[in-house]
Structure formats: C-alpha cells, structure tokens
Amino acid sequence: MIIRKFREKDMDEVEEIEREAFKRPYPRNLILGLWHINPNLFYVAEVNNKVVGYILGTLDWGNGHIVSLAVKKEFRGQGIGKALLKTLEDYYFNVIGCNYIILEVRVSNKIARRFYYKMGYKDRKLIPNYYDDGEDAILMIKKREGANGILIVSLW
Ligand SMILES: CC(C)(COP(=O)(O)OP(=O)(O)OC[C@H]1O[C@@H](n2cnc3c(N)ncnc32)[C@H](O)[C@@H]1OP(=O)(O)O)[C@@H](O)C(=O)NCCC(=O)NCCS
C-alpha cells in the first residue's frame, strides 16, 4: 500500500468510494474544487495501482479541517484509514503549523467516532441538524502537541 497525492485521473475511483461510504456523497465538482484550492490536502491510498481510500482536507480559519475520509469496504480494518489520516495530520501540524484539526461526524457513525477517538480526537461540540437529512454532527478536534492558543471555528 502506498499513500500519494491525489491526481485528477483518480477522480472516478474516489467518487465510487465516496458513494459506497456515505449516504449523501459529496458531488464530484465540490471535491475537485476543494482540491484545486488545496492541492496539498488530498491524498489517496493505492494497492496494486488501484485507489482504495482517500482523505480530503481544507483550511478553516487556520485550522486543519477534514472534509472526507473513506476506505473501500473490503480494505477496511487494515490500517489504511490510519495511514491516510497520519499523512494529512503531518502536513497540517508539521508543514502548515496548525494548532488544531477539526472535523464533523454523524452522531450515528459509531465506527468513525471510535476510529477518531483511537487517533486522539475528542468530542468538542454537538452541532444540531448539521446534515441535510436532519441528523446532528459531533465536532471533533485534535490539538497539536505543545500547541497553545484558542480554537476559533467559523461555525460558532
Ligand atoms: C472510518 C474509516 C475511514 C476507518 O478506516 P480503516 O482503514 O478501516 O481504519 P484502520 O484500519 O486504519 O483503523 C484504525 C483504528 O481505528 C479503529 N477502528 C477502525 N475500524 C473500527 C471498527 N469497525 N470498530 C472499532 N474500531 C475500529 C481501530 O481501533 C483501529 O485501530 P487498531 O485496529 O490498530 O487497533 C472506515 O471505516 C470508513 O471508510 N468508513 C466509512 C466512511 C466514514 O465513515 N468516514 C468518516 C466520516 S467522518
């Protein structure tokens, strides 16, 4: 398995994984638009020349913001999500120098919440009615080791 930056030719495979993973997948033009703005914040995991997972981030008021992370069903539980997240975290914390990484996750998405707890994220705030089907989100955050300074989030 290798982790590398996203290339435009990966888009069909990423879209397929996004559709498999999420009830309300992000549209292709949104994903590509975010990549054009933040070309260093989009990584894919590749096995035998096939994309099996990806992570897409943005910058939100100086914080790293994870927009989407998904691994193809048959490749889950093998450390691929962890490797993708570590790659983006390293860029946020050690290249950009972000103090915080934030993300929103569905309250019902127990697997992802467990995954993020394991990766050092903490629940920060409930965001009622965040998703367009009415479900609440949990805002989760991870602080860079040794960072000081307050968290400013545009949603608040
Ligand atoms: C969340 C997701 C990306 C995790 O990817 P993954 O490659 O399966 O995760 P990893 O194998 O790297 O697991 C890392 C750690 O997370 C935890 N974890 C992962 N899947 C888990 C599960 N099904 N149950 C409990 N813990 C789990 C484990 O503690 C694991 O650590 P360990 O096995 O080394 O002890 C994957 O389940 C997925 O694509 N889900 C659908 C999309 C989604 O919900 N994305 C997040 C939305 S915000």
Closest C-alpha to ligand 1, atom 44: 112
Residue with CA at minimum distance from ligand 1 atom 28 = 115
Q: Which CATH superfamily is domain 2-103 in?
A: Gcn5-related N-acetyltransferase (GNAT) (3.40.630.30)
User: Would you put residue 98 in left (φ > 0), alpha (ψ -120 to 50) or beta?
Assistant: beta
The more confidently predicted of residues 121 and 148 is 121
Q: Ligand 1 centre from 99 Cα, in Å?
A: 24
Determine the Cα–Cα distance for residues 156 and 144; give it in Å rounded to an integer: 21
Count Cα neighbours of 93 within 13 Å in the Cβ-side half-sphere.
17
Binding site membership of 82 for ligand 1 (Cβ less than 6 Å) = yes
Task: Tell me the domain boundaries of the chain.
Answer: 2-103
Q: For 82-96, what is each residue's pLDDT tens digit?
A: 999 999 999 999 999
CA 62/CA 75 separation, integer angstroms:
32
* Contact between residue 155 and residue 61 where contact means Cβ atoms under 8 Å apart: no
Q: Is the pTM of this model over 0.75?
A: yes
112 lines ligand 1 (CB under 6 A): yes
